[in-house]
């Protein structure tokens, strides 16, 4: 299925990118009451893949993500979430209501209307991520400077839900921050669907196409939960954030927790992931 392609969208995207690159939504690092502590954290990139099992080209996007995550140097710094949506006549079995809210946000705020599409750190569109077009992903990882935001995660999950706790540390001040908590599931096999005939799009797989990074739950508000204003060296903890979900595999070993922080423009400042019930500490550079 071909994507709807809008010239106006790309012009708007270029303008938005230029504005975001030239502005600084953080507080002044030279302010003596708000110093930059100099602590930097390992920076990772978030890919949100709007997809559907009805979409015969969508598996190619998943293949691009798989290639990025398999990169020997930077693959461990790539975090992906596949957000499924159905269409008239085919209600995607992997769709969840909060996922629809997120993809509607992408349509309204970024002008993305055709499938498949992906957002890298919620700043730009990933257009047809073929294996030779992965530089967009790797160039979005700040390998030298890192991130001013560190993320620590722990969880207590069963096969139907539980709680996630996340802590955030900052090396400089920000205003109006938000955080999101996603639950994703790996190794979900496609049921009989239009993708059964898409053998040419994903490495020879047809109806047995295996989906990874499938969004199964969002904690709190789909468009992000409030952290608010923070100062340099501050730590903020959100404990016992509840999630409920239905798994396809009924196997927690295939479940991961994804946590990310966005600034007041919506840009992802950093993201972290870990397996269910496996704690992960701040990753300092």
Q: Where are the alpha helices (DSSP H) in the chain?
A: 7-22, 58-69, 97-110, 135-139
Q: Report if residue 83 sits inside a domain.
A: yes
- pTM of the entire structure? 0.84
pLDDT at position 129: 56
Q: Which domain holds residue 82?
A: 41-275
Q: Report if residue 15 sits inside a domain.
A: no
Q: Report if residue 217 sits inside a domain.
A: yes
Number of domains making up the chain: 1
Return the ∠ at Cα 248 (arms to 246 and 254), rounded to 5°. Answer: 100
Q: Report if residue 35 sits inside a domain.
A: no
Q: Which residue's entry shows tokens 């995550």?
A: 69
pLDDT at position 13: 29
Q: Report if residue 253 sits inside a domain.
A: yes
Please give the distance of CA 22 from its chain centroid, rounded to a whole number: 24
Q: Where are the alpha helices (DSSP H) in 114-237?
A: 135-139
Q: Report if residue 55 sits inside a domain.
A: yes
Q: Report if residue 31 sits inside a domain.
A: no
Spatial distance between the Cα atoms of 79 and 35, rounded to a whole number of angstroms: 30
Spatial distance between the Cα atoms of 158 and 164, rounded to a whole number of angstroms: 11
Q: Classify residue 249 by its DSSP letter.
A: S
pLDDT at position 35: 54
Could you list the pLDDT tens digit for every one of the 285 residues in the chain?
334 332 232 223 223 333 333 334 444 444 445 555 678 999 999 999 988 888 877 877 888 899 999 999 999 999 999 999 888 878 888 999 999 999 888 887 777 777 777 788 998 655 555 656 788 899 999 999 999 999 999 999 999 999 999 999 999 999 999 999 999 999 998 665 555 555 445 544 455 678 999 999 999 999 999 999 999 999 999 999 999 999 999 999 999 999 999 999 999 999 999 999 999 999 999
pLDDT at position 194: 57
Spatial distance between the Cα atoms of 214 and 42, rounded to a whole number of angstroms: 24
Spatial distance between the Cα atoms of 255 and 193, rounded to a whole number of angstroms: 24
Q: Report if residue 192 sits inside a domain.
A: yes
CATH code assigned at 78:
2.60.40.2550
Residue length of the chain: 285
């Amino acid at each position: 299925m071909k994507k709807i392609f809008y010239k106006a969208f790309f012009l708007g995207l270029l303008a938005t990118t230029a504005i975001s690159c030239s502005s600084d939504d953080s507080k002044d690092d030279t302010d003596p009451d708000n110093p930059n502590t100099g602590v930097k954290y390992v920076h990772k990139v978030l890919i949100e893949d709007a997809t559907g099992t009805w979409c015969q080209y969508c598996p190619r996007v998943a293949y691009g993500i798989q290639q990025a995550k398999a990169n020997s140097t930077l693959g461990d710094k790539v975090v992906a979430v596949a957000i499924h949506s159905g269409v008239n006549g085919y209600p995607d079995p992997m769709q969840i209501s909060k996922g629809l809210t997120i993809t509607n946000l992408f349509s309204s705020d970024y002008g993305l209307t055709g499938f498949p599409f992906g957002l890298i750190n919620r700043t730009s569109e990933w257009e047809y991520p073929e294996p030779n077009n992965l530089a967009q992903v790797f160039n979005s990882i700040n390998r030298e400077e890192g991130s001013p935001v560190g993320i620590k995660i722990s969880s207590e999950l069963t096969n139907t839900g539980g709680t996630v706790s996340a802590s955030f540390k900052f090396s400089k001040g920000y205003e109006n921050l938000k955080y999101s908590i996603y639950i994703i599931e790996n190794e979900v096999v496609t049921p009989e669907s239009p993708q059964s005939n898409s053998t040419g799009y994903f490495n020879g797989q047809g109806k047995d196409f295996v989906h990874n990074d499938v969004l199964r739950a969002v904690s709190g508000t789909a468009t992000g939960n409030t952290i608010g204003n923070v100062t340099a060296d501050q730590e903020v903890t959100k404990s016992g954030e509840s999630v409920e979900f239905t798994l396809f595999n009924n196997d927690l070993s295939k479940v991961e927790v994804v946590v990310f922080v966005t600034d007041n423009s919506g840009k992802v400042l950093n993201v972290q992931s870990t397996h269910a019930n496996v704690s992960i500490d701040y990753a300092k550079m």
